Structure 1
Amino acid sequence: MSKVCQISGKRTRSGNNVSHANNKVKRKFFPNLKTKKFFLESEGVWVELKVATSAIRTINKKGLEATLLSAARKGTLAL
């Protein structure tokens, strides 16, 4: 499976390892993804999402339904 957050759309970024001698070697920066189950109260079902830890904090703050609606509007929601 790809390393993409289903809520925020965060994905793997590329960059460089830079040594003390300023040598540059390509590397990847991976998002901090967790697979987590959330309870969707309106439907009465558990939903399993692959989300970044920052998205978990957003869900805790705004609520699951509001976060899902904003992700659907942004186009990052991939169920």
Structure 2
Amino acid sequence: MKSNKYTLDRFEDGFAIFMDYPSETEKLLVPFSEIHTLLKEGDIVSITVMEDSYQIDLLENETMNQRDKIQSLLEQLKNSEK
């Protein structure tokens, strides 16, 4: 079984909507009932699609690194506006 990386984009109509990471060009809809870990929008995860279920693992280090990059970019934008 192959696992792929995704970013949790949003929750909508009983589904978690994941975008493939890092390109975010393809999406994967996973029913809430298949998610057995606490996730937030923006989390980066590894998802293995099995015959009748999903294995979802939070990639904490990658998520934190991505959040740090975004925060840094926001700070640069704020400073450039002054």
TM-score, normalising length from structure 1?
0.30
**Greater radius of gyration (CA):** 1
RCO (CA 8 Å, sep 6+): is it higher in 1 or 2? 1
